[in-house]
Structure formats: C-alpha cells, structure tokens
Amino acid sequence: MQYDAVILGLGGIGSSALAESAARGLRLLGVDRFDPPHAMGSSHGGSRVIRLAYFEHEGYVPLLREAYEAFDRLSRDSGVCLMRRVGLLQGGLAGNEIARGALASARVHGLRVDGLTGREASKRFQAFDLPDSWELVYEHDAGFVRPEETIRVQLSRARAAGAEIRTNTEVVDFDDDGRKVRVRFADGSAVEAGALVIAGGAWAPRMLERFPSLRGFHLKATRQIILWIGYADSAQSLSTLSTSAMPVWLFEDGEGGAPYGIPAFAEMDLPQGVKVGVHQHGTDEVDPLLLNRTVPERVAQDIYARVARRVKAVRGAEVVATAACMYTESTDGHFVVDALDPEAPNTIIATACNGHAFKFVPVLGRVLAEAIQDRGSLKSGLAKFLRRPARD
Ligand SMILES: Cc1cc2nc3c(=O)[nH]c(=O)nc-3n(C[C@H](O)[C@H](O)[C@H](O)COP(=O)(O)OP(=O)(O)OC[C@H]3O[C@@H](n4cnc5c(N)ncnc54)[C@H](O)[C@@H]3O)c2cc1C
C-alpha cells in the first residue's frame, strides 16, 4: 500500500484533516483539483463567523470550545492571526429562533451573552438602526476566522510533517474493496491507500450520488452570494464599518433567510468594506463546475437595500465587490461525517457543511484523523454526534 490515506479536497476540511493526520505520523497524499486556497469552492472571501452560543443546537458547544482552542493554538504556532473575537449581535423579530437558540446554548453552557432590545442594541453599536421590538443577543466571544489563511497554515503544517500534496489534480473515481481504496486521477494514474477521506465540498454530492446510504440526506450544492459594501473614501469606510462601531451581526428580519455581516478590518486584509450575505438554505441547486460567479446588479442592490434598512452605517455607501460561493446542504442542516457505506468501509466522508462548518474545521480535521487510524471511532463519541445531533 502506497499511503495510509488519501485526502480528496484540500479546502477548509481536507487541509485540516491532512495536517492533523500528518501530525500523527501517517503516510498521506492530499489532492485537490485546484491550488488551494482558491475562490472556486466554499472557503474564500476573507472571513467566516465563529460563535459559541450556537442557536442551531446547544450540543455543538463542546465542539466549538475545541475549535476556539485550536484556532488560538494554530495562530500562536504559525504566527498568523487566524481568529478575532470582535463580538456578535444576533437576533431579530420578537420570538426569533436565532436569539432563542443562542440563549438556550448560553444557559446550558454558561456563556457570556447579553440580551438586548433593538433600541438597546442600536444605542450600544452605532452602526445599527433596529426596531425596539427586536430581541437580540450579544455574544462577547464570537467573531470571525480567516478561511484562506487557515488553509495556508494547515497545508504548511501538513507539508512540514511529511504529507505529499498534489494540486491541480482531479480524482475521477475510487474503488473501496473493503481492504484498501484505489483512487484514480484524471491523467489515468492511480494510487492505493488504506483509507480515502472525501472532503470535496460542493463537488461531493455528484461524486457520492451512486451510494444508496446517502440518498436520505438529499445532498446538494447551492449558490450563495456575498457583497462588500464600502465607501469610496477608505478612511470613512474603516471608521464607520469597522469593529469599533459594528460587531459581526446576523439578523432574522422576517424577509427569508438571515442577513449577516462581518465588519471591515484593515489589519487583517479585510479593508474594503463590510462583507454581507444572506444565510439561507434551499436556494437553487448548482453544478459546481458551471457555477455562475457573476452577481447581477439587481440582486446585489436588493441585498444592499435590505441590509441598509437595519445597518445605518452602510447607508450612502456602495457595493464595491461581489462573489459567489457554495453551500453543500443536507436535509436536516447538520454535517455528515461517517464511513461512506457498509460496502465502502474505508471511505470516509465529511460533507453537508450547510454554510456553517468553517469554524469547525480544526475539529473535523481531528475527527477525520482519528477515523483514518480507527474506523470504529466514527461510530462513537463526537463523530456520531456530528453526523446527526439528537433533536429535542
Ligand atoms: C458564502 C458563505 C458563507 C459562509 N459563512 C460561514 C460562516 O460565517 N461560518 C462558518 O463556520 N462557515 C461558513 N460557511 C461554510 C464554510 O465556509 C464551509 O462549510 C467550508 O468552507 C466547507 O469547506 P470544505 O472543505 O467542505 O469545502 P471547500 O473548502 O470548498 O473544499 C473542497 C475542495 O475539494 C476539492 N475537490 C472537489 N472535487 C475534487 C476532485 N474530484 N478531485 C480533487 N479535488 C476536489 C475542491 O477543489 C476544493 O478545494 C460559509 C460558506 C459560504 C459559501
């Protein structure tokens, strides 16, 4: 056998799995069809929200504590600052799920949060203009992490620990015979490994559609749009759109999905303006290779207008850049991390990141590294939880 494992995809999750497995002394090959970090998948745009008071389910909080420790450790060891705790204001219409879920997580795990009305929040953070009836939660320890820098750091850790990396190399097929996995590349060559980890992001649904075990999850890639809103005068941009007036925010405004924003931050190469998007599931399914990366002016202006109603700091500013990105979605919004199929026990998948996985990449990397060494670890403990957390 040439390798203990092949890691397919070196984006957020795969680069972390490669680094964590290499640190355990395994013989590894990491492969990516592009040259990561890149802007073709799900891990670009400069920043990703990280938060502890998880509104989706309080069961994620122990994983998030581990992720915070890991981002701090990676930053310390690499000398690259990968995470900033700038706070997060989240919530919206009375009775909204986001504030309710965040408060539930905070209560169970003793997290530092403040409950605020719209008026209180607008007074505390001058960037906002929120109705008084809104119910919000401010989380002190939330903030953002840096996807591209995280991938760079993970790949350099992996290389330093002896992992082999092939970029611009596409995996076209694999065959798991129960003893080993044979992985075939677009140039016709192949390698054999004890395990294959599929961390193919938005490409995974197509790659995995022939496996009956995944049909119930209805995996799909969807198109997501990001805008940057800034002022022509960059000094004004940074004073009004930066973290002093504006923490990270996520609002349930009753218009479908939840608009969010991450402030400008010059020290971390995020100077061009506040980055905004709308966190939502069930948008149009796309083929990652055919993704339309152009954002129509009308779509950008609609998002801008929606944001400007609540975020007064962006009024009068302009959309200065746009990008398209992809979520990989499953039916229940939770990650799918497991052996692929009883027929393919050495093929491990980490997919369905549903637009909220970047903050977990160090944890997913650790879980996948353990799974390469011991497939049994996937059936117990956190990996099982990652697959399908119990719902109340
Ligand atoms: C707009 C947007 C906003 C988001 N906001 C947040 C947030 O605020 N907080 C948060 O935690 N998460 C957020 N997410 C989610 C998070 O970014 C993703 O869950 C995460 O980046 C997914 O990482 P990945 O490794 O699965 O995918 P990717 O990083 O896309 O990596 C997949 C890799 O697989 C490679 N690949 C695919 N097929 C093949 C093949 N056949 N052969 C070789 N290589 C292949 C690709 O080239 C790619 O590099 C957001 C996502 C988007 C799109």
Task: List the one residue out of 245, 251, 244 whose CA is nearest residue 276.
Answer: 251
pLDDT digits (tens, 9 = 90+) for 152-191: 999 999 999 999 999 999 999 999 999 999 999 999 999 9
- Dist. CA 360–CA 383, nearest whole Å: 12
**How far is residue 268 CA from its own chain's centroid?**
18
CA distance 208 to 210: 6
| Residue 359 in contact with ligand 1 by CB distance below 6 A | yes
Residue range 84-122, pLDDT digits in tens: 999 999 999 999 999 999 999 999 999 999 999 999 999
Domains of the chain: 3-44+148-217+332-387 (3.50.50.60), 48-145+220-329 (3.30.9.10)
Q: Give the pLDDT mean for 218-223.
A: 93
- Cβ–ligand 1 distance for 259 under 6 Å, the answer no
For 335, list phi and psi in degrees, rounded to 5: -70, 155
Q: What's phi and psi for 27, nearest 5 deg?
A: -85, 120
Global pTM reads 0.96
Flag the least confident range among 70-74, 75-79, 225-229, 339-343.
339-343
Q: Ligand 1: which of 353, 359, 367, 386 to mutate, judged by most atoms within 8 Å of the beta carbon? A: 353
